[in-house]
């Protein structure tokens, strides 16, 4: 009996082998177990109880409320006639005119007549055969009370049926979620994506979307929270969670360092048990009521290395955009790293935080790439070495009027003429990032006094960072200061 009761009271499809909080159709997979005073609390909110009940129960209560009220007042009318003596054989309607008997209600023969009079009074039918008289004050009071009660019960039950028919839950049946979610790269970042759509022409006003990750979490104190909810930051087309919902939208969650999926790789996603609950909310354009549609994705419903096929195209014949809902759930397989977003970020940091810009195509030259790569750290040195050449120990030029005197610091290993930018990059790396090595020699030149010359901070050939590094290596080499 309890198993049958649970299946009757819990909406949705068969739940075997499914361990999820939200079903694909949006129903909550939650059952109440022994709540205190459940029936009394439901009766205290009878309106919501009847609205949330299934249609067969609502219609049954609707019919029973009217039939029950008819029978209840029929008994009262029969008792009034019986106590007044109208049901005696001498006082029946056929003999009333002869003996001058005035009943409480004309033409009441039996309980059936009282039942018909109850229906006529409650719904103000007024056939004109059965009417009340001034003989019985209690009959006048009951007639007034039944008329008011009939209006109240009719308004109450019609309101329940109307609210049940127009509730926004039915509007959510035409809001679609893709069967699967996907994980792929967008602009170099791993993203979790799913698609939402609306089948009706009347739009959802102020549509917004939310997503939550439900999984088990263990705190530092050792407490295990089985249904811990992580909020996922989602948006569409680079915007916030607000949607301009005129056609299907792909909702994107960027897996960054603030994401709960930051440490999850493709293999981890297959092993771990979690659920991504997605919620779409908005206002129905036709009724002005708020509606909410829900769905969820478990780990087996998330496709790693896929993206959605486009469903919106321009129809030249109809001069408008056309939505092909047959491809709403279709995906394409794309190349995607199988590592987690954290490992991917560490890989990019190992490459000096360089990532090819998205606004430039794959045909970008190596020169442009290296100039962008070293712009922040060595822009001054690159510009200087592009215009001037460092001479060897013999030196060139002379005199104090020359831009660079003959006595200067000689750096062996830096090319004296233009070579590939790859060689320039390697020399700069060896010079400023790595410890001194035998291939990198700093040869001080003596001035007229016979003392080695230290590189000055005012020397235009190098910047302050370069001067500091060279002076430290010069001192370490035994040249003195």
pLDDT over 50 (residue 331) = yes
- Check residue 211 and give its pLDDT: 93
Q: Are residues 157 and 251 in the same domain?
A: no
Q: Are residues 152 and 266 in the same domain?
A: no
Q: Are residues 241 and 317 in the same domain?
A: yes
Q: Which of 316, 348, 380 is the last residue of a domain?
A: 348
Residues 6 or more apart whose Cβ sits within 8 Å of residue 395: 406, 407, 408, 445
Residue 107 Rama label (left phi>0; alpha psi -120 to 50; beta): left
Q: Are residues 154 and 241 in the same domain?
A: no
Percent with pLDDT over 70 in the chain: 69
Q: Are residues 343 and 242 in the same domain?
A: yes
Residues 250-274: what's their mean pLDDT?
Answer: 90
The model's pLDDT over 73-111, given as tens digits with 9 standing for 90+, comes to 999 999 999 998 888 888 888 888 888 888 899 988 889
pLDDT confidence band for 15 (50 / 70 / 90):
very low
pTM of the model: 0.59
Q: Which of 293, 317, 348 is the last residue of a domain?
A: 348
- Check residue 425 and give its pLDDT: 54
| Tokens matching residue 335 | 């190349």
Residues 32-53: what's their mean pLDDT?
Answer: 82
pLDDT over 50 (residue 1) = no
Which range, 43-47, 380-384, 418-422, has the best average confidence (pLDDT)?
A: 43-47
pLDDT confidence band for 46 (50 / 70 / 90):
confident
402 within a domain of the structure (yes/no):
yes
- Check residue 303 and give its pLDDT: 93
- Check residue 334 and give its pLDDT: 92
5 within a domain of the structure (yes/no):
no
Q: How far apart are CA 204 and CA 188, in angstroms?
A: 32
Q: Which of 348, 376, 401 is the last residue of a domain?
A: 348
Q: Are residues 249 and 323 in the same domain?
A: yes
The CATH number for 241's domain is: 2.60.40.1400
Q: Are residues 399 and 384 in the same domain?
A: yes
450 is in which domain, residue-wise?
366-476
**Who wins on pLDDT, 243 or 399?**
243
Q: Are residues 162 and 178 in the same domain?
A: no
Q: Are residues 179 and 160 in the same domain?
A: no
10 within a domain of the structure (yes/no):
no
Q: To which residue do tokens 């003996």 refer?
A: 99
Q: Are residues 180 and 324 in the same domain?
A: yes
The CATH number for 129's domain is: 1.10.287.70
451 within a domain of the structure (yes/no):
yes
353 within a domain of the structure (yes/no):
no
Using N-to-C axis directions, what is the helix angle for 366-373 and 421-432, rounded to 10°? Answer: 20
Q: Are residues 112 and 140 in the same domain?
A: yes
pLDDT confidence band for 285 (50 / 70 / 90):
confident
The model's pLDDT over 146-155, given as tens digits with 9 standing for 90+, comes to 999 999 999 9
pLDDT over 80 (residue 277) = yes
Q: Are residues 278 and 406 in the same domain?
A: no
- Check residue 380 and give its pLDDT: 54
- Check residue 381 and give its pLDDT: 52
The total of structural domains in the chain comes to 3
């Amino acid at each position: 009996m309890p198993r049958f009761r649970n299946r009757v009271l819990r909406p949705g499809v068969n739940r075997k082998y499914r361990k999820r909080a939200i079903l694909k159709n949006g129903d909550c997979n939650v059952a109440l177990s022994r709540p205190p005073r459940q029936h009394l609390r439901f009766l205290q909110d009878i309106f919501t109880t009847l609205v949330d009940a299934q249609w067969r129960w609502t219609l049954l209560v609707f019919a029973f409320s009217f039939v029950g009220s008819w029978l209840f007042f029929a008994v009262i009318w029969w008792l009034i006639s019986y106590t007044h003596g109208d049901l005696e054989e001498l006082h029946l309607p056929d003999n009333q005119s002869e003996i001058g008997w005035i009943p409480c209600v004309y033409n009441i023969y039996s309980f059936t007549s009282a039942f018909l009079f109850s229906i006529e009074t409650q719904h103000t039918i007024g056939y004109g055969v059965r009417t009340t008289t001034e003989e019985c004050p209690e009959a006048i009071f009951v007639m007034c009370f039944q008329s008011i009660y009939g209006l109240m019960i009719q308004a109450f039950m019609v309101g329940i049926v109307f609210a049940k028919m127009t509730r926004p839950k039915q509007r959510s049946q035409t809001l679609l979620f893709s069967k699967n979610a996907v994980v792929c790269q967008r602009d170099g970042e791993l993203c979790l994506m799913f698609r939402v759509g609306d089948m009706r022409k009347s739009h959802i006003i102020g549509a917004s979307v939310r997503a939550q990750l439900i999984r088990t979490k263990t705190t530092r104190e050792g407490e295990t929270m089985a249904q811990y909810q992580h909020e996922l930051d989602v948006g569409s087309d680079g915007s916030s969670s607000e949607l301009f919902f005129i056609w299907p939208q792909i909702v994107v969650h960027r897996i960054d360092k603030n994401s709960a999926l930051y440490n999850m790789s493709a293999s981890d996603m297959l092993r771990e048990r979690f659920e991504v609950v997605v919620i779409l909310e908005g206002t129905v354009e036709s009724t002005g009521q708020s509606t909410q549609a829900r769905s969820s994705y478990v780990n087996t419903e998330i496709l790693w290395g896929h993206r959605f096929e486009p469903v919106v195209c321009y129809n030249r014949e109809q001069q408008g955009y056309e939505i092909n809902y047959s491809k709403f759930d279709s995906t394409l397989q794309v190349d995607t790293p199988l590592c987690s977003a954290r490992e991917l970020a560490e890989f990019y940091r190992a490459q000096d935080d360089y990532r090819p810009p998205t606004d430039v195509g794959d045909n970008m030259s190596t020169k442009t790439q290296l100039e962008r790569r070293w712009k922040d750290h060595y822009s001054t040195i690159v510009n200087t070495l592009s215009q001037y050449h460092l001479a060897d120990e013999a030196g060139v030029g002379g005199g104090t009027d020359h831009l660079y005197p003959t006595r200067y610091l000689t750096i062996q290993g830096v090319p004296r003429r233009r070579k590939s930018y790859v060689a320039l990059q390697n020399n700069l790396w060896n010079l400023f990032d790595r410890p001194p090595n035998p291939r990198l020699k700093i040869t001080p030149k003596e001035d007229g006094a016979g003392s080695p010359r230290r590189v000055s901070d005012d020397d235009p050939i190098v910047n302050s960072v370069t001067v500091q590094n060279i002076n430290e290596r010069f001192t370490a080499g035994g040249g003195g200061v």
